[in-house]
Amino acid sequence: MKNLLILGAGTSGTMMSNALRKALPQGQWNISIVDFEDTHYYQPGFLFLPFDLYTPKQLKRDIKDFIPKGVNLIQQKIDRIEKEKNMVLLQNGENIFYDILVIATGCNIAPEEIEGMQGPSWHKTIFDFYTFEGAKNLRDKLKHWEGGKLVVHISEMPIKCPVAPLEFAFLCDSFFADKKMRDKVEITYVTPMSGAFTKPVATKELSYLLEQKNIKIVPDFNIEKVDTDNNKIIDYGGQEVEYDLLVTVPTNMGDEMTLRSGFGDELNYVPTNKFTLQSKVKENIFVIGDATDLPASKAGSVAHFQSDTLTENIQLFIAGKPLKESFDGHSNCFIETGNGKALLIDFNYDQEPVKGTFPIPGIGPLRLLKESRINHLGKRAFKWIYWNILITGKPIPFVSSRMKIAGKEINTSE
Amino acid sequence: MNEKTLAGFCIRCNDQGYLTDLAQWNKEVAVEIAKEEGIDMTNKHWEVIDYLQDQCRKEVAITIRKVGKSGIVNIKEFYQLFPKGPLKTASKIAGIPKPVSCI
Ligand SMILES: Cc1cc2nc3c(=O)[nH]c(=O)nc-3n(C[C@H](O)[C@H](O)[C@H](O)COP(=O)(O)OP(=O)(O)OC[C@H]3O[C@@H](n4cnc5c(N)ncnc54)[C@H](O)[C@@H]3O)c2cc1C
């Protein structure tokens, strides 16, 4: 018997355990998966929890419920990988040997990376919404907050779901308007990028949103520290932004397990071939989802598209055949814009988001790069799709892993 | 796409003045772009430019943290060399694309 080991049972690991159990013969391959959590969180719901649009209960399921029969779930913390020995060391001292390893340990916030962020003000006047705790505490804060300067802030790139902070700012606008206190809240969006939108078509199509929602933008802001005595954030160039309530996305980092294993980059991401998903660390180690260092978005939908490439490539690897360079960086995500509307974007490594129809070319029903009510319903339906289709390793109807050109308004003159 | 003559060289760039082909880059062109940004190039500037181009050729996403850990400059020094949005200014002078997010 050979052993395939998956590290992490979040979105990507769970998906791979389902796909690989179907793809690899039971009699030849043992499959195990390790995660220290008991709970599988629906992370996209963390965006809505602060506004009481989802209850905490809707976002939590038992991790066990999604691991298929024939896959062995090990509930332990991973200490490190010893790649020369093809072995993973668990925190309880146990060793697991593998023939093939899949790293799916994701990424998480690291507020300790920014001076002053995680002090006594953490979850009092400074909040994150990228963790279950953060989103829940922020919900409690927003319930009674009386208004003032609200700063929505990205510490540094890359972050998972890069549009979530902008969506958060949009939802704040509707939330406070609904509470009849929009005039008491000044919303500022602070980003290290050169703007809220950086791609040409999106900039042209979407820049009206900030103005319409009266959201001030501070671009090119690379935070150095939080001055909690004076309630302001300060960047390396000396720029300062004052806040009464700071909602930040701290630095995102891969799990320290990769650091202990001796191969993570400066943010603990695993060097990975961007087309095949084989690691650059060793040939029998593969990587998927947020744990990779790929220049693709870190999102559940991306992990879903990657899972097709990875499942095929693991089978090719076992057969001793060349791997397929089939992952094209495809990403597809809804962007909530508030007031019951949303946008949808579909893009890959080479093609920036453009207007068009999705998923059926010329028909839709979803509209790309354009606000609509049906896109919003799509975003809300994503929760059902996530629990019932995505992580169970089933294909999403009409949506292919590789990005489709048909149905998109692509200007080929440039 | 625009064409532009800098230091006697005809180069292609996008609407924001970023070169679209690193192969068209040379030091004379870089000095001209730097001037437009109000920067006088020193040895330290060139070292940073060299590093950024190297990362770009390796297809590594460039972040301010990476530059800070490059061993060439720390982030404060990077700001002193290229004030106001150092990553985008330095990228422009280096002839590589501006760092972008997904939209
Ligand atoms: C606020 C927010 C909104 C989002 N919105 C969207 C959206 O609208 N659409 C979308 O597609 N995506 C969205 N995402 C992103 C999406 O949730 C992630 O990209 C996706 O969950 C990544 O899956 P993953 O398996 O790579 O990582 P994860 O799902 O985070 O799983 C990693 C797992 O590894 C485990 N692990 C890590 N280290 C260890 C260790 N040392 N030992 C044992 N176990 C370990 C963790 O416990 C975890 O279960 C959003 C994310 C956030 C935070």
For A210-247, the pLDDT digits (tens) are: 999 999 999 999 999 999 999 999 999 999 999 999 99
Q: Could you tell me if A127 and A245 lie in one domain? A: yes
The whole-angstrom separation of Cα B27 and Cα B43 is: 12
Active site residues of B: 102
Give me A197's structure tokens.
């939108």
Mean pLDDT computed over A134-154: 98
Task: Select from A209, A234, A252 the last residue of a domain.
Answer: A252
Which atom from ligand 1 is nearest to the alpha carbon of A304? 11
**Amino acid A32: pLDDT:** 98
Phi first, then psi, for residue A297 (nearest 5°) are: -65, 150
Give me A168's structure tokens.
């958060």
Mean pLDDT computed over A364-387: 93
A339, part of any domain: yes
**Amino acid B23: pLDDT:** 93
Calculate the average pLDDT of chain A.
95
Task: Tell me if A288 sits within 8 A of A299, measured CB to CB.
Answer: no
Q: Could you tell me if A63 and A18 lie in one domain? A: yes
Q: Could you tell me if A338 and A248 lie in one domain? A: no
Count of structural domains within chain A: 3
Would you call A193 and B99 a contact, using CB atoms and an 8 Å cutoff? Answer: yes
Residue A297 near chain B (CB below 8 Å): yes
Please name the member of A193, A237, A333 whose beta carbon is closest to the beta carbon of B101.
A193
Q: Could you tell me if A16 and A37 lie in one domain? A: yes
Give the number of A-B residue pairs with CB atoms closer than 8 Å: 72
Q: Could you tell me if A74 and A131 lie in one domain? A: no
Q: Is the pLDDT of residue A1 over 90?
A: yes
- Which CATH number covers residue A134? 3.50.50.60
Pocket test for ligand 1, best of A67, A90, A161, A257 (most atoms within 8 A of CB): A161
**Amino acid A412: pLDDT:** 54
The whole-angstrom separation of Cα A212 and Cα B83 is: 31
Q: What does pLDDT average to in each consecutive run of 10 residues of chain B (103 residues)?
A: 87 90 94 95 97 90 90 95 91 92 83
Q: Could you tell me if A227 and A163 lie in one domain? A: yes
Q: Which residue has the tokens 């606008």?
A: A173
Least confident of A125-134, A259-268, A290-299, B11-20: B11-20
Q: Whose CA is nearest to atom 6 of ligand 1?
A: A44
Mean pLDDT computed over A381-394: 93
Residue B101 near chain A (CB below 8 Å): yes
Q: Could you tell me if A397 and A413 lie in one domain? A: yes
Which atom from ligand 1 is nearest to the alpha carbon of A129? 1
Least confident of A18-32, A202-216, A270-284: A202-216
Q: Whose CA is nearest to atom 31 of ligand 1?
A: A10
pLDDT digits (tens, 9 = 90+) for A45-89: 999 999 999 999 999 999 999 999 999 999 999 999 999 999 999
Q: Could you tell me if A223 and A235 lie in one domain? A: yes
Would you call B64 and A274 a contact, using CB atoms and an 8 Å cutoff? Answer: no
Q: Whose CA is nearest to atom 27 of ligand 1?
A: A106
Mean pLDDT computed over A293-318: 96
The answer to whether the CB of A264 is under 6 A from ligand 1 is: no
Task: Select from A204, A232, A252 the last residue of a domain.
Answer: A252
Task: Select from A318, A337, A355 the last residue of a domain.
Answer: A318
Q: Is the pLDDT of residue A413 over 50?
A: no
Residue A147 near chain B (CB below 8 Å): no
Q: Is the pLDDT of residue A100 over 60?
A: yes
Range of the domain at A384: 329-414
A37, part of any domain: yes
What percent of chain A lies above the pLDDT cut of 90? 92
Give me B16's structure tokens.
């924001």
Q: Could you tell me if A409 and A333 lie in one domain? A: yes
A242, part of any domain: yes
The answer to whether the CB of A11 is under 6 A from ligand 1 is: yes
A28, part of any domain: yes
A323, part of any domain: no
> Is the complex ipTM higher than 0.90?
no
Q: Could you tell me if A300 and A339 lie in one domain? A: no
Would you call A266 and B15 a contact, using CB atoms and an 8 Å cutoff? Answer: no
Mean pLDDT computed over A138-150: 98
Taking only residues 43 to 72 of chain B, the set having a beta carbon closer than 8 angstroms to any beta carbon of chain A reads: 59-61, 63-66, 69
Would you call B103 and A236 a contact, using CB atoms and an 8 Å cutoff? Answer: no
CA distances in angstroms from A403 to A54, A225, A334, A344, A351, listed in the order given: 31, 40, 16, 14, 9
Taking only residues 263 to 292 of chain A, the set having a beta carbon closer than 8 angstroms to any beta carbon of chain B reads: 266-267, 274
A359, part of any domain: yes
Q: Could you tell me if A146 and A31 lie in one domain? A: no
A324, part of any domain: no
Instruction: Tell me which of A340 and A205 has the higher pLDDT.
Output: A340
What percent of chain A lies above the pLDDT cut of 70? 99
Q: Could you tell me if A161 and A223 lie in one domain? A: yes
Give me B36's structure tokens.
């437009």
**Amino acid A203: pLDDT:** 85
The answer to whether the CB of A13 is under 6 A from ligand 1 is: yes
The whole-angstrom separation of Cα A160 and Cα A253 is: 10
